[in-house]
Amino acid sequence: AIARANVVELERRHVDDLVEVERMKRAYVAGSGHDLRSPLTSLRAATRALPRAIDAQVQAQLLEVLARQVDRLAALTQALMDVDNASVSEVQLIGLPALVRLIALDAELAGRLVAVEAPERLDVLADAEGVRRMVSNLIDNAFTHGAPPVVIALSARNGRAVLSVPDHGPGVAPGEQDRVFEHASRGAWRANPGRGFGLAIVRSLAEACGGTAWYDAAPEGGARFSISLRMRDVTQQEAAWMHGQVC
């Protein structure tokens, strides 16, 4: 009887594990679907603006946007196909200011003006596509639930690179601040509709890169969402561990 009870308990645990894996897959697919909106928005804006562009430099910029966003869609599609594979991205040394300015340019060409305040150089150990997804979601959140002007501010703090996106919207109610990073959280502070995956994706990616994400009130009112990332002075052992993480 004891042996049979042990077998039943093992089978129950196995079923629980399968259910949890399926839940995680569904959350991942839903989050990736949310990520698809950002490149699609840029593609729509660029394709509509291209026929009206007369200046050769503007045409070249729009074509670059189209190429980048097509590459992003390809990468996200591959990630959805590889949902069973935990190591789908590569952690490497990245020049954060240059990447953020490129993301801000894409946002501007899609009709969202984003200012960047950054030092000339700030290197982090992360995945470029993961950083792009985080920043794009923070921009989307600022324009959807906050209000312009929107700024991306980069700084080094206590050995970490900190990226903050303040806006001038209503901010987050005190009772909602601990829940905004949860999947499908759409608190009372959100005046606009949304699936609620964006900030959850931001925190998950930041933690996968060895960092974190948090909220505090912007100094001039509104919301400020921030992420921290590891700078280049990490040990080889830490780098090897992070290389195997989803980021």
pLDDT tens by residue, 113-136: 999 999 999 999 988 888 988 998
At which residue do the structure tokens 């982090």 appear? 124
State how beta strands 114-117 and 150-157 pair: parallel
Q: How many CB atoms lie within 10 A of CB 44?
A: 13
Q: Which residue has the higher pLDDT, 186 or 37?
A: 37
Q: What is the mean pLDDT of residues 81-91?
A: 49
| Reported confidence tier of residue 213, pLDDT bands at 50, 70, 90 | very high
Q: Kindly state the tokens that stand for 93.
A: 């040394």
Angle 95-92-26 from CA coordinates, rounded to 5°: 110
SS3 78: helix
CB contact at 8 A, 130 and 208: yes
| Reported confidence tier of residue 176, pLDDT bands at 50, 70, 90 | confident
Sign of CA dihedral 168, 170, 175, 178: negative
Task: Give, for 25, the enclosing helix (H) or strand (E).
Answer: helix 2-35
Q: What pTM was estimated for this model as a whole?
A: 0.63
CB contact at 8 A, 115 and 172: no
User: How many DSSP H helices and E strands does the chain contain?
Assistant: 7, 7
State how beta strands 123-126 and 92-95 pair: antiparallel
DSSP 176: G
Distance CA 235, CA 80 (A): 31
Q: How many CB atoms lie within 10 A of CB 243?
A: 15
